[in-house]
């Protein structure tokens, strides 16, 4: 009984921590939502849904709240390709763990599951990589937004 109570308290704590991490002001918020890395007020992307055909790479040029120019220099987002290796591997490992270790799939099935995951999540991987990449160069600035101050 004590153990159950204890673990639910720990779970609660982790959950609250997780929510705090997802609040504006944390880099993770910008990375997961694709919002402006400086003010976290609006999406960098023309369409938030990366699966919308033709919209995967369409970004606004500047943030309408803090006037941050996303593309710091020409072909700035080529650097995101380096990040996408890591993000891609993370998705592949997750697919491997779920297919092989949790579902007990065979080697070929696991391999196919990894391939399907990589292809299916490609738009998400690309956007996450861009979000991580741009967050290397910008820091959250609570005073950046002109509309809230």
The closest alpha carbon to 121, from 81, 77, 89, belongs to 89
Distances (CA, A) of 8 to 1, 12, 20, 55, 149: 11, 6, 18, 42, 40
Least Å distance, CB 74 to Zn ion, is 21
Q: Is 98 exposed, middle or buried (0-12, 13-18, 19+ CB in 10 A)?
A: middle
Nearest to Zn ion of 60, 100 (CB atom): 60
Give the total of residues touching Zn ion (CB under 5 A): 7
Site for Zn ion in 67-126 (CB under 5 A): 68
Nearest to Zn ion of 40, 127 (CB atom): 40
Of 30, 44, 59, 65, the one binding Zn ion by CB under 5 A: 65
Q: How far apart are CA 71 and CA 108, in angstroms?
A: 41
Site for Zn ion in 25-44 (CB under 5 A): 36, 38-39
Least Å distance, CB 109 to Zn ion, is 44
The closest alpha carbon to 98, from 84, 79, 112, belongs to 112
Nearest to Zn ion of 65, 127 (CB atom): 65
Least Å distance, CB 75 to Zn ion, is 22
The footprint of Zn ion (CB under 5 A) covers 36, 38-39, 63, 65-66, 68
């Amino acid at each position: 009984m004590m153990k159950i109570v204890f673990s639910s308290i720990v779970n609660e704590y982790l959950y609250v921590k997780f929510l705090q991490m997802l609040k504006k002001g944390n880099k993770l918020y910008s990375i997961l939502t694709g919002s402006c890395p400086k003010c976290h007020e609006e999406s960098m992307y023309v369409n938030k849904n990366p699966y919308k055909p033709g919209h995967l790479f369409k970004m606004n040029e500047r943030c309408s709240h803090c006037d941050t120019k996303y593309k710091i220099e020409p072909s700035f987002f080529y650097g995101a390709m380096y990040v996408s290796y890591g993000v891609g591997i993370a998705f592949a490992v997750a697919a491997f763990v779920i297919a092989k270790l949790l579902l007990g799939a065979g080697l070929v099935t696991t391999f196919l599951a990894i391939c399907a995951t990589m292809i299916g999540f490609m738009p998400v991987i690309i956007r996450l990589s861009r979000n991580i990449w741009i967050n290397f160069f910008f820091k959250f600035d609570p005073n950046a937004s002109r509309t809230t101050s």
